[in-house]
């Protein structure tokens, strides 16, 4: 029987996290598809794996949110220099529920929570100082209270259909293993480098 690639992901990620020089060992490149048909990539942080899905968080009204809601196909790509490993994931995105979004929002730094409150991520602004002034005001307003999650802040499960693991080899025959999910079971093939 083929190994569940999510188990393999966790093994690689745990090993990488132990030796990673970066402060953000869960950073990955999320690609969504724009309404113009062009792919659109940016880094996000993988929050965790829940029931065999990869969870990410962010605004629903920024480009990533709008694009994933309109066309729920996504990819996540990891590159880990210390272990010379790349992981590519393609899958279907679906919004996480309110309770889980609240939990992640609560776990954010207070300053990040305030920024999520006052910013319309990705909207043009004439003067960033307007936002920093508002930030200082909100810091006072929210000083002793739990900051509620803004309605447009949430996250997505990425339910993987394909997961490819690649490991650099010094002889250039890089090892590539592609897992594909069909009817809830995974098959595996080895790819030429």
Q: Which residues bind ligand FMN (CB under 6 A)?
A: 24, 27, 42-45, 56-58, 62-64, 121-122
The pair of three-digit structure tokens given for residue 75, joined into one six-digit string: 């990819």
Least Å distance, CB 26 to ligand FMN, is: 8
For the CB of residue 183, give the shortest distance to ligand FMN in the complex, in Å.
Answer: 32
3-state secondary structure of 14: helix
Closest CB to ligand FMN among 4 and 40?
Answer: 40
**Triad 104, 110, 116: Cα angle to 5°:** 70
- What's the closest the beta carbon of residue 63 comes to ligand FMN, in angstroms? 4
Strand ranges inside the chain, DSSP E = 27-33, 39-45, 48-50, 53-59, 73-80, 85-95, 153-167, 175-182, 185-191
139 three-class SS? helix
Minimum Å gap between C-beta 64 and ligand FMN is 3
């Amino acid at each position: 029987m083929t190994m569940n690639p999510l188990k393999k992901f966790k093994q690689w990620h745990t090993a990488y996290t132990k030796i990673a020089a970066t402060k953000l060992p869960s950073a990955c490149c999320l690609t969504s598809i724009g309404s113009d048909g062009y792919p659109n990539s940016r880094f996000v942080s993988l929050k965790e794996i829940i029931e065999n899905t990869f969870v990410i968080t962010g605004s629903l009204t920024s480009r990533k949110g709008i694009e994933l809601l309109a066309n729920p196909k996504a990819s996540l790509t990891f590159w880990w220099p210390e272990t010379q490993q790349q992981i590519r994931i393609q899958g279907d995105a679906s919004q996480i529920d309110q309770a889980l979004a609240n939990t992640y929002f609560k776990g954010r730094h207070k300053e990040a929570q305030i920024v999520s409150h006052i910013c319309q991520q990705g909207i043009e602004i004439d003067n960033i100082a307007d936002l920093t002034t508002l930030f200082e005001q909100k810091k006072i307003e929210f000083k002793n209270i739990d900051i509620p999650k803004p309605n447009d802040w949430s996250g997505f499960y990425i339910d993987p259909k394909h997961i490819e693991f690649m490991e650099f080899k010094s002889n250039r025959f890089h090892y590539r293993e592609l897992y594909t999910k069909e009817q809830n079971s995974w098959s595996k093939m080895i790819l030429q480098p």
